[in-house]
Chain A
Amino acid sequence: MTSRAVQLTRRQTRASAVDRPERPRHGWKKTTWIWIFLLPTVVLYGIYTIYPIIASYWYSLVEWNGFDADQKFVGLSNYREVFADPLFWNSFKITLFFMLLVVPARVLLTLLVAMILNNPKLPLIGVLRSAFFIPVVTTTAIIGVVMRFILDPGTGPINSLLMKLGGGGVDFLGGQHLALPTAAVLYIWKFFGVTMIYWLAALQTIPYELYEAAKIDGAGTWQLFRYITLPMLKPFLIIITVLTVEETFHNFDLMYTLTAGGPYFHTEIIEIYIYRWAFAAPIPQLGHASAAAVIFGLLVAIVGAVQLWGVYAGRRLRGEQR
């Protein structure tokens, strides 16, 4: 039966247009099965994603010192405290600043490398792509720990090289002004491959014939880039930026293992701020942490919404081109 079915698909995928989902005319038996199929997602996703999103709002309104302790409704006072806390604004600023440091580099440098690695004439292309991609799959928390040793001011290999060159002793992660840029460079290195794959996928949507035709018309490399590659990539630029920006908000693993927010809160992103109030404090302030978490959630949502609007605009742009 299966093989017949497969043959059927092969014959008909080309012929028939994409089907719409079935109308709700099925009986109770089918409806039951539908919900049984959805059940694992409803339960797990409901408990561990949807419920926490809603519960955070309630927790942000209570005074709650420890997971076993009682909760006492205190209204908006947690928000008042969070807003009055200069360290919260510090972490807010650092989160956004980190995003601004990382996103342009990640988006533009990866485009450059992707364009080189997209050329079929380049030898060793598979090996090179894999090499640039390897850091992505490795455990971020472990990279963080190992990098602390590699960048160690006294005995790390980088500094012993610098020492041979006459410098050395640079405290990459301990210096107040150096720590965040260092973390940013490491972050770019770690997730470079992801954005590179995005770009390679985008580049592969450009038909090769376009380049061939332009070459026959006498276009040079720069002209090919300027008049074919760039306009064809424009709609992807928006989507790739959205994805990259949203990914930079998930940076707890690297920051925590590299610096744990130090030195003196100079790399404390909001996720570490929340962690510090909820788990690392002698008396956990879960209400306070929840208020910060809600604000963080709103920040991520607003940035996402603005950008999704950008995607929508991008889609329209792409539609007009056709």
Chain B
Amino acid sequence: MSAEVAVRTDRQRRLLRRLPWWIAAIVLVGIAVLWIFPFLWMLSASLKDNMEMFTGGLKLWPSKFVWDNYTRAWNDAHFGRYLINTVVVTVITVVIVTIRCATAGYVLARYRFRGSRIFLGVLVATLFVPTGYTIIPVVKISMQLHLIDSLGGMILALSGGAYVSAILIYYGYFRQIPRELEEAALVDGAGFVRTFFSVMLPLAMPVTATVAVLTFITTWNAFFLPLVFTFSRPDLRTVSVGMQAFVGETATDWSGMAAAGVISIVPVVVLFIFMQRSFVEGISGAVKS
């Protein structure tokens, strides 16, 4: 009997001690809901009809679910096509960027050769180059190479852009791998290429995940380059450019626009939820180094 009372008060005391934290958490949850309100609003707007969007105000739950908005966005506003373009561009860019950054980071970290210092120096110096600065020559050279107005050209331009940080992440990782490992691979008869592909690259798996996720999100969300590359080819737009064009072309279909926004944003958000850790690692890496 007395033991039971003791247990209960103990638990009560523990609960009481945690109470301020729970209050803080509830306040924060409130702020967080406000924080993601624009997304909730977009989601709800994508299911309302255009009339209700004007009159509904802040109300989130639609009085009647209009799934037709999604069909209109997908077909009439061409978001089905834009989504495919975006997926193609993003996936290929991620593959190119990851491979080129992994190989470059590897040789820069493991070998000293003529020009390696300069190479690294140039990379670091261009860490922050903004797209607005390079855009005119990029368009000009793409025209000279007959790469403008094509998804291929867009992919190349995107994969040649600012992924210095990805090289530096690989560089940092490969640099701290001990020499003995390479020697062991050598003893086992692995050459340069095999050492990289069957020893080093598998070891760097977490880094690869981080670089791939960061590149995915950057490319998916890219706007300036895709905008300029698709001026004369509306059929090659990515979702971000398509959204901007949507407002100009069909200014009245607001709920269709909201549906298009949902279609465009859902893939990145889903990827983020599953790959959260890699993404956060990549961002915090900038501070730790």
Contact = CB atoms under 8 A, between A and B. Distances in A.
B36 A131 contact: yes
B133 A53 contact: yes
Interface string B33-57: 1011011011001000000011011
Contacts, number: 321
A122 B25 contact: yes
Contacts of A119: 21
B70 interface: no
Contact of A128 (B25, B126, B177, B283): B25
A296 B132 contact: yes
Contact of B223 (A12, A68, A140): A140
Given A44-B156, A197-B283, A249 B130 contact: yes
A299 B36 CA distance: 34
A149 to B, nearest CB: 6
Interface string B107-150: 11111111010010010001111111111111111010000000
Interface stretch (A98-106, A177-185, A211-219, A236-244): A236-244
A41 B167 contact: yes
A18 B176 contact: yes
A183 B193 CA distance: 50
A48 B157 contact: yes
Contacts of A294: 133
A321 interface: no
A143 B244 CA distance: 10
Main secondary structure of the interface of A (DSSP, over half): helix
Interface in B261-284: 261, 264-265, 268-269, 271-273, 276, 279-280, 283-284
A61 interface: no
Interface string A291-311: 001101100110010000000
A24 B223 contact: no
B35 A131 contact: yes
A108 interface: no
A53 B198 contact: no
A1 B126 contact: no
A201 interface: yes
Contacts of A134: 35-36, 39, 269, 272
B258 A146 contact: yes
Interface string A24-36: 1010011101100
B25 A30 contact: no
A232 interface: no
A223 interface: no
A161 B261 contact: no
A123 B178 contact: no
B47 to A, nearest CB: 15
Contacts of B136: 52, 56, 59, 274, 278, 286, 289-290, 293
Given A51-B141, A132-B35, A145-B243, A24 B114 contact: yes
Nearest to B140: A67
Interface string A79-112: 0000000000000000000000000000000000
Interface string A8-30: 11001100101111111010011
Given A145-B261, A252-B132, A130 B273 contact: yes
Contacts of B271: 137
Nearest to B147: A47
A224 interface: no
B108 to A, nearest CB: 8
A161 B181 CA distance: 64
A176 interface: no
Contacts of A304: 127-128
B257 interface: yes
A322 interface: no
A271 interface: yes
Given A198-B287, A250-B131, A141 B177 contact: no
Contacts of A240: 287
Contact of B231 (A21, A130, A279): A279
Contact of A22 (B110, B134, B228): B110
B223 A5 contact: no
Contacts of A297: 129-130, 133
B104 A37 contact: yes
A294 B135 CA distance: 11
Interface of A: 1-2, 4-6, 8-9, 12-13, 16, 18-24, 26, 29-31, 33-34, 37-38, 40-41, 43-53, 55-56, 59, 67-68, 116, 119, 121-124, 127-128, 130-135, 137-150, 155, 157, 160-161, 164, 189, 194, 197-198, 200-202, 205, 236, 239-240, 243, 246, 249-250, 252-253, 256-257, 270-271, 274-275, 278-279, 286, 289-290, 293-294, 296-297, 300-301, 304
8 contacts: A12-B180, A49-B162, A121-B21, A141-B243, A146-B42, A147-B38, A253-B221, A274-B135
Given A22-B110, A44-B159, A161-B58, 12 more contacts: A48-B134, A48-B141, A51-B137, A122-B24, A140-B223, A146-B258, A157-B57, A198-B284, A249-B128, A257-B244, A274-B132, A290-B136
Q: Which 8 A-B pairs have the closest CB atoms?
A: A48-B160, A201-B284, A271-B132, A44-B160, A52-B137, A160-B57, A52-B134, A131-B32
